[in-house]
Amino acid sequence: MIAFRIFVEGRVQGVGYRAFTKRVAEGYGLEGWVRNLPDGRVEVYVKGDEEVLWFFIKDLMNGPPLADVKSLHIIKEGFVESTGTFDIRY
């Protein structure tokens, strides 16, 4: 398993992006969390099988229908203990 921290830029707040991310992550069986940042970006911390993570990242680039994703900044992260869930943080 590997982990990534992903910063999503564009019109990604107020469009259901966090709920979309949670739904997609759970569909892939991934763990982690998603949250809005004060600067308008969305931050995602996700861990799982590397091949599956790349499919997830492709879905993040598309986003939900009302989103307009401009870019993803992906950072490989250290892996922390498994939580078994994917959460929305507030």
CB 68 within 8 A of CB 8: no
What are the residues whose beta carbons fall under 8 Å from the beta carbon of 44, sequence distance 6 or more? 4, 5, 6, 7, 8, 21, 32, 33, 34, 60
Would you please indicate which residues are annotated as catalytic (active-site) residues? Answer: 18, 36
